[in-house]
Structure 1
Amino acid sequence: MTQDGMPEQFDVIVTPARELRGELRAQPSKNYTTRYLLAAALAEGETRVVGVATSEDAAAMLRCLRDWGAGVDLVGEDAVIRGFGVRPRPGVTLNPGNAGAVARFLMGVSALTTRTTFVTDYPDSLGRRPQGDLLGALERLGAQVSSDGGRLPITISGPVRGGPLEVSAERSSQYASALMFLAPLLPQGLDLHLTGDIKSHAPLRQTLDTLSAFGIRWTATEDLRRVTVPGAQAYRPGRVLVPGDYPGSAAILAAAALLPGEVRLSNLREDDLQGEKEAVNVLREMGADIAREGDTLTVRGGRPLRAVRRDGDSFTDAVQALTAAAAFARGQTTWENVATLRLKECDRISDTRAELERLGLRASETDSSLSVEGLDSEERGAEALGRGARLPGGVRVSGHGDHRMIMLLTLLGLRAAAPLTVSGAHHIRKSYPQFFRHLESLGAKFEYVALPDERP
């Protein structure tokens, strides 16, 4: 058993719920936690990161920073980091697990070292994700790089020079973020030109916000095509507070909208830069009753929902949770411009379509979109809509080793007519370890079935 009282590896049996009711404090942001921890390590001196996420991604970043020579102390819910500045330990092998953003951020900074090697024990997930755009940019800066066709294992050696640099943002914004973390520590800095169809502007703004929090100066065009970070700067140690997590909270908000009851979710800043904040507006557009008071959102659930057609690029990490709401809406919901979902822990377009169809839903896809026909699409009387359509349930579905897929399938199970089994549900710990416990505190019921102690 782990500290959360769950087996190390488990399937979860989701019991259909009648209502959700109660109050929660949103977990700390995974995206800000990893960024703050890295920036703290790049500062010489001691930084207290207040309220860090307890996700596997955060643990992967802390583990790699320790291996690189940073001092790391966990004090209650905070992390105290004693940074290595511009001198990460050379000749180190780092294993970021299955944390793609962590791996890429560290690859950028590894240009400060000699012979940093990146490996993973998730060869069929992170091991298959492309890194070539970032590696090519580092080589153009003068780094020596060896890889398996642009994939892990990867070894990087500096030193590198600064100056003008093009990097593609077509596949992921994480390549540009990685270079932004490196830029102020180079003598000449970097004048970044982001090429291609830029994906996920919001994470780029979170990276720039992090640089500002640690005293780094930068300028950028409004469209983020050009980002200039002067060189010979130093990250400033101090104290930073991690905001609440919108991607994970999108799943709680969608669950609360799908079922009768009232749920209050605090610690979600209205002026937050996380793109998944838009999930609140999407749910409202679908007909959900969501009110905001300061940093607290109140959802009065059980209202009939209607389909939407949205460009999902700015809130990709909320698309799975919002797909659960779409499954019970009237009409066909389509998420457009979400091709990057194919490059996550699983193919979140094709694999989602397959699992929805396994549950009896109608879904379709293109190269860059996902559509789902809601259960309330057929003509129904007001009384039927009020009761809320339910999936048949009673089947086993695959979580595909993907935390966002597990959230989606769990929400569908809460609105099923019979229990739904989600395989490999322990992978929820990648971003939201308390997901099931938080839902239980609102009235949901789950059964945890332990699996053999081996990686699926």
Structure 2
Amino acid sequence: MKSVMIQPFSLNGKVKIPPSKSLCHRAIIAAALSQGECQIQNVNMSEDIIATCEIMEKLGAKIEKNPNSLHINGEGLYDFFHKGIVNNKIENNNSENNEAASIELECNESGSTLRFLIPIAMHRVEKIVFKGRGKLVERTLKPYYEIFDKQNIKYTTDRGFLPLTIDGGFKPGIFELRGDVSSQFITGLLYALPLLNGDSIIKVTTKMESIGYIDLTLDVLSKFGLSIENNNYREFKISGNQSYENRDYRVEGDFSQAAFYLAAGVLGGEVQCVDLNMESLQGDRVIVDIIRNMGGKISLVDGILKASKSNLKGTIIDVSQCPDLLPIVAVLGALSAGTTEIINASRARIKESDRLKAIATELSKIGAEVIEREDSLMIHGKPWLKGGVVNSWNDHRIAMAMAIASIKCTENLTIQDSGAVKKSYPNFYEDFKSLGGKINEWTMG
């Protein structure tokens, strides 16, 4: 198990924010489904992105990995989808050959990979077996199971968990999903349904949360030639028999990762974040407004977002549309004057860890005053935390949030299982050190 010990020290300087993991997933999948060749620029090969690439290759795409970019040829996958096999699968589900054949797809710990690719992989003739590791094995797939049951698609699970074996393909029609579980299920359908041989409608049966992620999906699909009618996020009308068009695409910087360094700047120092698009559709762009509402000094100079040391004050933060920001805004609340309440956070319990419990537990270990509720946190801020030993819960965002908390600790902070950052931001500690962070790393037996 890898651990890091961080000496309290303010961070200063300029950091290039890694590309958006959400957009990387989406662009890679769209390119692999297109006819022809695509260049995807500014790609960070985190563990989650590697999982998506490997599955798209296994489904038939050719992906050439270069430093910071991917060359994707989707002709093999395109030909497979557009020579009648998509429609034939439904008719031939019970064929002898189909009973014998299967294809195994390993998602590692990536929820996006799993939920995005289930509807796409179901176009294959073979049985599909999805596998995963860690917390992903237990993360819910109930919205898909409900659709499988309605469409009489054969599937088996391990008591509702992975591995998941699917023997069948979706038929065009009406798909009803909750909007308050995960937008990833809707994204998966938005990618797959245009390839079917008939029109479909997705009906959202509850209030839609994480709308920003749906906006990213619709934007990428539009850029790759697909047309989807969005009726105020309550209904999506999707024409069948569409085709993905090949194109080149550059992935913009990730606001969910920038959040950690913007927080570092306002907690003590001055950090400049490079390669962020202030017109971005990313829902996590709201971190700029959250920090400003807490009294944080953030300015945009020559296209670079700069965060400077500030006197922060507590506030109410609604994370229903940005659940991934919960760990770092909890750190900011713990170090702000007064009380911070983080509300509408129940979905944070079904991420890589139970993030409400994880961040409350680890911040409390180092002296923060945090009250965990069913779907919220109440935090009474302090000027300093004491340091000590914390654990990442094998969650990349918990690890990074605690690293930023070290800036305002009175003693060294040790993070156990610190390697969890490889899931989304493999170079996090290198960037941390480039800004003046003082880190010792070691591997425990």
TM (norm. structure 1) is 0.90
**Structure 2 counterpart SS, 1:137:** helix
CA contact (8 A) 2:59 2:121 kept: no
The whole-number CA distance in structure 2 between the counterparts of 1:451 and 1:59 is 26
The whole-number CA distance in structure 1 between the counterparts of 2:118 and 2:248 is 25
Alignment of 1:2-401 (within 5 A): 9-17=1-9, 19-83=10-74, 84-85=77-78, 87=80, 91-113=102-124, 114-122=126-134, 125-222=135-232, 224-260=233-269, 262-293=270-301, 295-301=303-309, 303-375=310-382, 389-393=383-387, 395-401=388-394
The whole-number CA distance in structure 1 between the counterparts of 2:238 and 2:390 is 46
CA contact (8 A) 2:259 2:287 kept: yes
The whole-number CA distance in structure 2 between the counterparts of 1:210 and 1:294 is 27
Shift of 1:139: 4.0
Answer yes or no: is 1:446 the counterpart of 2:439: yes
What is the aligned partner in structure 1 of residue 96 from structure 2? none
1:98 corresponds to which letter in structure 2? E
What is the aligned partner in structure 1 of residue 92 from structure 2? none
**Structure 2 counterpart SS, 1:188:** coil
The whole-number CA distance in structure 1 between the counterparts of 2:60 and 2:19 is 25
**Structure 2 counterpart SS, 1:112:** coil
CA contact (8 A) 1:93 1:119 kept: yes
What is the aligned partner in structure 2 of residue 378 from structure 1? none
The whole-number CA distance in structure 2 between the counterparts of 1:421 and 1:373 is 23
1:15 corresponds to which letter in structure 2? Q
Question: Residues 236-257 of structure 1: CA distance to partner in whole angstroms, max 9, x if unpaired?
Answer: 1110111110101101110111
Shift of 1:267: 0.9
**Structure 2 counterpart SS, 1:116:** strand
CA contact (8 A) 2:264 2:271 kept: no
Shift of 1:294: 5.5
What is the aligned partner in structure 1 of residue 93 from structure 2? none
Shift of 1:81: 1.1
CA contact (8 A) 1:248 1:318 kept: no
The whole-number CA distance in structure 2 between the counterparts of 1:242 and 1:330 is 37
The whole-number CA distance in structure 2 between the counterparts of 1:49 and 1:369 is 38
Question: Residues 83-102 of structure 1: CA distance to partner in whole angstroms, max 9, x if unpaired?
Answer: 11273797210111000111
Tell me, which stretches of 5 or more residues in structure 2 are unaligned? Answer: 86-100
Pick which of 75-84 and 398-407 moved more: 75-84
CA contact (8 A) 1:269 1:294 kept: no
1:77 corresponds to which letter in structure 2? N
1:441 corresponds to which letter in structure 2? S
**Structure 2 counterpart SS, 1:330:** coil
Question: Residues 159-191 of structure 1: CA distance to partner in whole angstroms, max 9, x if unpaired?
Answer: 321122111222111111111110110111321
The whole-number CA distance in structure 1 between the counterparts of 2:199 and 2:215 is 18
Question: Residues 70-93 of structure 1: CA distance to partner in whole angstroms, max 9, x if unpaired?
Answer: 111012211111111273797210
CA contact (8 A) 1:132 1:151 kept: no
Tell me, which stretches of 5 or more residues in structure 1 are unaligned? Answer: 1-8, 376-388
CA contact (8 A) 1:108 1:138 kept: no
Q: What is the aligned length?
A: 424
The whole-number CA distance in structure 1 between the counterparts of 2:160 and 2:212 is 26
Q: 1:143 to 1:293 in 2, by over 3 A?
A: farther
Shift of 1:288: 1.0
**Structure 1 counterpart SS, 2:54:** helix
**Structure 2 counterpart SS, 1:407:** helix
Shift of 1:23: 1.0
**Structure 2 counterpart SS, 1:13:** strand
The whole-number CA distance in structure 1 between the counterparts of 2:277 and 2:223 is 17
TM (norm. structure 2) is 0.92
Shift of 1:258: 0.4
Shift of 1:135: 2.5
Shift of 1:142: 4.7
The whole-number CA distance in structure 2 between the counterparts of 1:189 and 1:252 is 44
Identity percentage of aligned residues: 28
The whole-number CA distance in structure 2 between the counterparts of 1:71 and 1:208 is 24
Question: Residues 275-301 of structure 1: CA distance to partner in whole angstroms, max 9, x if unpaired?
Answer: 110001100111111001354201122
CA contact (8 A) 1:250 1:318 kept: yes
Shift of 1:392: 1.5
**Structure 2 counterpart SS, 1:24:** strand
